[in-house]
């Protein structure tokens, strides 16, 4: 039963346009796990070059962020899921509970970063363009104006202490847009079961430190130049049909 | 821990805590500084100078090379910690109740038993970073000696075991935070403790002996995402056992670590 829930989460990684999930796990352990029928997750490819988001986000950061940080979340997530399967199989309830924080952290990291890559695009491919259509009108309706929305996101992101994410989410039940923050790698659903993430901005230090050092507000101001709204509009339209 | 309070607005603000006859008395005093002057109400006279200061590490910024580069220290101490100090001073300017505490007391008061006030983050981060710089020295690492080593062996089994536990805590801390070696006051033993964001063991009345900053800004410029390499460099080359020994000697004035040697009659 738990495995079926895990398998459906893989579709989240496959959503959106132009992402090919290549199998990067070449280790024998992962191959063995796969042969046992356990679903393993893999690092999604970026639909743009590491340097394509310059000067808003440097190539060095993009490469480290994708190849080191996101990859380690994926690897550890798979490891935790394998350990979970073992613990469930041998009826070890304390071990199952103990693994939850690792699953939440690494799984959340994989989910959040997968959404994040889809939220970014080079300027010549539409990055930085405010949304049009129903999502654009909804932002004006729920926040007053585009500027007010951006300012709210930046204020919440700057005020967040430690590591976390700032989100534009859709409350499915009330069909309202909300700005929320989550700590560490908690996915947006931890703030409300009805919340669907549309845009997420990583405010962990690794997301900006090499370029902006401790000037987090500068990072938040500049990242809007490469925020892409195609994925967010698709999700919004699907939920609000 | 390197704090000073200078609140010059107390001298000039007319309505704050001064009664009318105080003003009369002031005017009859011969001390010119305290007499009412024509510019009594000027903003300049009531400007607060500072509450807390940025304390320098006990070594030059390039002294910890190659394990912690000068560039990283310049950013970490000069920009991050300075930002915390200035942020704290700005917040305290608006808040009369929190005026007059030492930094230790301010951290405990603003922690507010788990429901931290907005000033906690800045106050605790200033405290934590002061403690962190003092926990390191050029040519550090190696092993503790004498009584400290005995206490570590008593509470962890062996020094290697303690080191492993400390490193494991640093690697398993999700997000931002600190790793500490503390002397627990009630249990009267040493323990490795991880805290998130700015939390500090003094809020639980324990006595910290070592602190290690595992916020990403503490190592990213030198080690990128390799937290393990950073923690190992800290343990093997940076941690100052001399300082830890001094701290535990002081702690023994508050916590009785020995068994009383009561002679059997």
A129-155: per-residue pLDDT in tens? 999 889 999 999 999 999 999 999 999
Q: How many CA atoms does the CB half-sphere of A87 hold within 13 Å?
A: 16
For residue B96, the 8-state DSSP code is S
* E strands in B127-230: 177-184, 189-196, 207-213
Exposure pattern of B100-120 as b/e (b: 16+ CB <10 Å)? ebebeebbbbbbeeeebbebb
Work out the angle between the directed axes of helices A71-89 and A2-14 (0-180°, nearest 10). Answer: 160
Cβ contact, residue pair A185, B174, below 8 Å: yes
| pLDDT of residue A78 exceeding 60 | yes
According to the model, what pLDDT value does residue A216 have? Answer: 94
Using CA atoms of A31, A34, A39, A41 in order, give the dihedral in degrees to the nearest 10.
10
> Residue range A174-186: average pLDDT?
95
Taking the Cβ of residue B187 and every Cβ of chain A, the question of whether any pair is shorter than 8 Å is answered with: no
Work out the angle between the directed axes of helices B159-172 and B146-156 (0-180°, nearest 10). Answer: 70
Nearest CA to A42 out of A23, A65, A68, A16 is that of: A23
Taking the Cβ of residue A161 and every Cβ of chain B, the question of whether any pair is shorter than 8 Å is answered with: yes
Three-state DSSP at B4 gives strand
Q: Which residues of A touch B220 (CB under 8 A)?
A: 205-206, 209-210
**Cβ-contact A68, B224 below 8 angstroms:** yes
Nearest CA to A208 out of A142, A160, A144, A152 is that of: A160
| pLDDT of residue A235 exceeding 50 | yes
Three-state DSSP at A164 gives strand
Cβ contact, residue pair A206, B225, below 8 Å: yes
Q: Which residues of A touch B174 (CB under 8 A)?
A: 101, 105, 184-185
Q: Which residues of A touch B197 (CB under 8 A)?
A: 161-162
According to the model, what pLDDT value does residue B32 have? Answer: 54
* E strands in chain A: 164-171, 176-183, 195-202
Chain B: residue nearest A205 by CA? Answer: B216
Chain A: residue nearest B195 by CA? Answer: A162
> Residue range A177-185: average pLDDT?
95
* β pairing state of A164-171 and B207-213: unpaired
According to the model, what pLDDT value does residue A23 have? Answer: 38
Exposure pattern of B187-222 as b/e (b: 16+ CB <10 Å)? eeebbbbbbbbbbbbbbbebbbbbbbbbbbbbbbbb
In whole angstroms, what is the distance from residue B59 CA to residue B218 CA?
Answer: 17
In whole angstroms, what is the distance from residue A50 CA to residue A226 CA?
Answer: 13
According to the model, what pLDDT value does residue A140 have? Answer: 94
Nearest CA to A131 out of A144, A146, A117, A121 is that of: A146
Nearest CA to B200 out of B125, B135, B113 is that of: B125
Cβ contact, residue pair B174, A184, below 8 Å: yes
Chain A: residue nearest B176 by CA? Answer: A162
Phi, psi of A199 (to 5 degrees): -125, 130
For residues A15 and A144, which has the higher predicted lDDT (pLDDT)?
A144
For chain A, what percent of residues have pLDDT higher than 90? Answer: 79
| pLDDT of residue A80 exceeding 80 | yes
Chain A: residue nearest B79 by CA? Answer: A214
> What's the Rg (C-alpha) of chain A?
18
According to the model, what pLDDT value does residue A191 have? Answer: 95
Cβ contact, residue pair B225, A69, below 8 Å: yes
Q: Which residues of B touch A64 (CB under 8 A)?
A: 224-225
Strand partners, B182: B191, B208
According to the model, what pLDDT value does residue A1 have? Answer: 45
| pLDDT of residue A35 exceeding 80 | no
> Residue range A70-83: average pLDDT?
95
Looking at this predicted complex, what is its ipTM? 0.80
According to the model, what pLDDT value does residue A12 have? Answer: 44
Q: Which residues of B touch A205 (CB under 8 A)?
A: 176, 215-217, 220
Interface mutation vs chain A, best among B88, B176, B177, most A CBs within 10 Å: B176
Nearest CB to B216; choose among A105, A164, A209? A209
According to the model, what pLDDT value does residue B37 have? Answer: 52
Tens of pLDDT along chain B (265 residues)?
Answer: 444 444 444 444 434 344 444 444 545 555 555 555 554 454 554 555 568 899 999 999 999 989 999 999 999 999 999 999 999 999 988 877 888 889 999 999 999 998 999 999 999 999 999 999 999 999 999 999 988 999 999 999 999 999 999 999 999 999 999 999 999 999 999 999 999 999 999 999 999 999 999 999 999 999 999 999 999 999 999 999 999 999 999 999 998 887 777 788 7
A177: cis peptide before it, omega within 30°?
A: no
Taking the Cβ of residue B32 and every Cβ of chain A, the question of whether any pair is shorter than 8 Å is answered with: no
User: Which uninterrupted H or E stretch holds A231?
Assistant: helix A230-239
Nearest CB to B175; choose among A68, A72, A162? A162
Taking the Cβ of residue B225 and every Cβ of chain A, the question of whether any pair is shorter than 8 Å is answered with: yes
């Amino acid at each position: 039963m738990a495995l079926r829930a895990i398998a459906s989460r893989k579709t989240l990684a496959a959503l959106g346009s132009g992402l090919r999930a290549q199998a990067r796990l070449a280790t024998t352990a992962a191959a063995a796990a796969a042969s046992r029928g356990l679903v393993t997750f893999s690092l999604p490819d970026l639909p743009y070059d590491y340097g394509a988001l310059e000067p808003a986000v440097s190539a060095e950061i993009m490469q480290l962020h994708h190849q080191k940080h996101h990859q380690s979340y994926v690897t550890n997530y798979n490891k935790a899921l394998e350990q979970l399967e073992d613990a469930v199989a041998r009826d070890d309830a304390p071990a199952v509970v103990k693994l939850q924080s690792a699953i939440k952290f690494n799984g959340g990291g994989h989910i959040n970063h997968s959404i994040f890559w889809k939220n970014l695009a080079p300027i010549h491919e539409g990055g930085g363009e405010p949304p049009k259509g129903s999502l654009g009108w909804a932002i004006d309706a729920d926040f007053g104006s585009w500027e007010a929305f951006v300012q709210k996101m930046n204020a919440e992101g700057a005020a967040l202490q430690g590591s976390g994410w700032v989100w534009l989410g859709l409350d499915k039940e009330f069909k309202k847009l909300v700005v929320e923050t989550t700590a560490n790698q908690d996915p947006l659903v931890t703030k409300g079961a009805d919340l669907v993430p549309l845009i997420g901005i990583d405010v962990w230090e690794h997301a900006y430190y090499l370029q902006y050092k401790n000037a987090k507000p500068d990072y938040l101001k500049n990242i809007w130049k490469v925020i892409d709204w195609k994925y967010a509009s698709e999700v919004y339209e699907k939920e609000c049909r | 821990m390197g704090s000073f309070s200078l609140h010059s607005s107390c001298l000039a603000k007319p309505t704050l805590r001064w009664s009318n006859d105080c003003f009369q008395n002031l005017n009859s005093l011969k001390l010119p500084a305290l007499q009412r002057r024509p510019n009594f109400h000027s903003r300049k006279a009531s400007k607060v100078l500072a509450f807390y200061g940025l304390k320098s590490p006990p070594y030059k910024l390039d002294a910890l090379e190659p394990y912690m580069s000068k560039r990283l220290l310049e950013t970490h101490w000069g920009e991050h910690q300075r930002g915390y100090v200035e942020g704290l001073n700005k917040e305290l300017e608006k808040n009369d109740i929190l005026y007059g505490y030492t930094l230790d007391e301010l951290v405990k008061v603003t922690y507010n038993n788990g429901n931290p006030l907005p000033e906690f983050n800045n106050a605790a981060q200033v405290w934590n970073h002061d403690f962190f710089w003092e926990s390191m020295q050029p040519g550090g690492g190696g092993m503790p000696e004498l009584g400290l080593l005995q206490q570590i062996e008593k509470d962890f089994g062996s020094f290697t075991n303690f080191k492993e536990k400390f490193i494991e805590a640093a690697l398993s801390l999700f997000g931002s935070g600190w790793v500490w070696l503390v002397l627990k006051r009630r249990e009267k033993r040493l323990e490795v403790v991880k805290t998130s964001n700015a939390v500090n063991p003094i809020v639980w009345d324990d006595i910290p002996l070592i602190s290690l900053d595992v916020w990403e800004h503490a190592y990213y410029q030198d080690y990128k995402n390799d937290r393990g390499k950073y923690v190992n460099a800290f343990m093997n080359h940076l941690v100052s056992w001399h300082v830890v020994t001094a701290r535990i000697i002081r702690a023994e004035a508050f916590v009785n670590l020995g068994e009383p040697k009561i002679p059997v009659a």
